[in-house]
Amino acid sequence: MLEKINQLMEGLKELHAQNAEELEALRIKYLGRKGALNDLMAEFRNVPGEQKREMGIRLNQLKNALQERFNELKQAVVSDDGNQDDLDLTRTPYPVSLGTRHPLTIVQNQILDIFGRLGFSIAEGPEVEDDLHVFTRLNFAADHPARDMQDTFFVNSDENDVTRNVILRTHTSSVQVRAMENAELPLRVVCPGRVYRNEAISARAHCFFHQIEGLYIDKDVSFADLKQVLLTFAREMFGPETKIRLRPSYFPFTEPSAEMDISCNICGGKGCSFCKHTGWVEILGCGMVDPNVLEANDIDSKVYKGYAFGLGVERITNLKYRVNDLRLFSENDLRFLDEFKAAY
Ligand code: PHE
């Protein structure tokens, strides 16, 4: 047995493999289940007691040496496969496919850019908010239905005092409140961000979406200023032919309040299925900041006035890119996202 071991040891250097198949054949022959090493292991059982120690040591040395040689050969075969001679450094690389910006990010940036040019700065705030910033300081009565479970996601609700509730913000008006808290007047901000409402998910509604809300507070702010800013926005966003129309509406935090429609940019106002054959599509809510809101935020409503508006980024994106199912925005389907490769 010792002789066999010595023979194998000496023969080690003679082992060669040109490729993966030859290497595998060697492995089977020497290290495999029925290979030379295992044969010796089987023989080892019959070695008489007094020789066991020496033979065991020798056998172990063989095992390690075989394994080491095998690893050496494997290394050589592997680096041979990436044959240096085949390496062509001048070849053009495989096309690397670039990612795209999310359509909502693209449109949000466009909107922020337009308002940026009109002098608005950007303010951001937390998505998990307290009732104070989402409702109370915006003139929502304690029993206003928007505070209800049906609309609002609650993180923590305090049955005895609704103003202590912790919720997911239902609009980014909460950021406007935060902006007013720290305000040096005049104040001119736009507040982008994700908002949450407890809606069943469908093509037309989702439990979260994105808003951009704007707020301007100064000494002589009028409804005409608001109208002009919104008209400029609509034309920058949807083209110079775009018309706007304001319809009276109601929000707790603005008085008077309005909803703004633009002439349908898909049919140009002639009437189509998108605008339900009216020629108009609603894109935002707006109004003059209710004096109660100014006072609730320690701003003297006899000196200062303001306007506010809020729009949904998904809605604008649908109009711009004709996306007809809100769910597409959050499903991460690359076939959808790749369509925006050409946008920026
Ligand atoms: N906060 C309102 C909403 O979520 C939008 C709005 C903002 C309306 C500002 C008027 C003024 O629907």
Digit-coded pLDDT (tens) for 66-76: 899 888 888 88
Mean pLDDT throughout 220-227? 97
Nearest ligand 1 atom to alpha carbon 170: 4
Residue in 133, 251, 316 to alter for ligand 1 test, most ligand atoms within 8 A of Cβ? 251
Nearest ligand 1 atom to alpha carbon 171: 4
Mean pLDDT throughout 171-199? 95
Q: pTM score > 0.75 for this model?
A: no
Per-range mean pLDDT, top range of 11-15, 254-258, 335-339: 254-258
The larger pLDDT score, comparing residue 210 to residue 20, is at 210
pLDDT for 82 equals 56
pLDDT for 280 equals 95
- Residue 79, burial from CB neighbour count under 10 angstroms (0-12, 13-18, 19+): exposed
Asked if pLDDT for residue 86 goes beyond 80, the answer is no
Asked if pLDDT for residue 191 goes beyond 90, the answer is yes
Q: Is the CB of 309 under 6 A from ligand 1?
A: yes
pLDDT for 287 equals 98
Nearest ligand 1 atom to alpha carbon 173: 1
Ligand 1 mean position, distance from CA 250 (Å): 10
Give residue 146's pLDDT band: very low, low, confident or very high (50, 70, 90).
confident
The larger pLDDT score, comparing residue 157 to residue 102, is at 102
Q: Is the CB of 286 under 6 A from ligand 1?
A: yes
Residue ranges covered by each domain of the chain: 2-82, 103-340
Cβ contact 176:191 at 8 Å: yes
pLDDT for 98 equals 79
The larger pLDDT score, comparing residue 290 to residue 10, is at 290
CA distance 70 to 23: 8
Helices and strands in the chain: count of H runs, count of E runs: 11, 10
CA distance 337 to 304: 45
Q: Is the CB of 209 under 6 A from ligand 1?
A: no
Q: Is the CB of 254 under 6 A from ligand 1?
A: yes
Q: Is the CB of 213 under 6 A from ligand 1?
A: yes
CATH class of 103-340: alpha beta
Give residue 83's pLDDT band: very low, low, confident or very high (50, 70, 90).
low
Give residue 131's pLDDT band: very low, low, confident or very high (50, 70, 90).
very high
DSSP state of 93: P
pLDDT for 80 equals 60
pLDDT for 124 equals 97
pLDDT for 13 equals 82
Residue in 177, 199, 211, 213 to alter for ligand 1 test, most ligand atoms within 8 A of Cβ? 213
% of residues, the chain, pLDDT over 90: 58
Angle, alpha carbons 235-239-242 (nearest 5°): 60
Q: Is the CB of 310 under 6 A from ligand 1?
A: yes
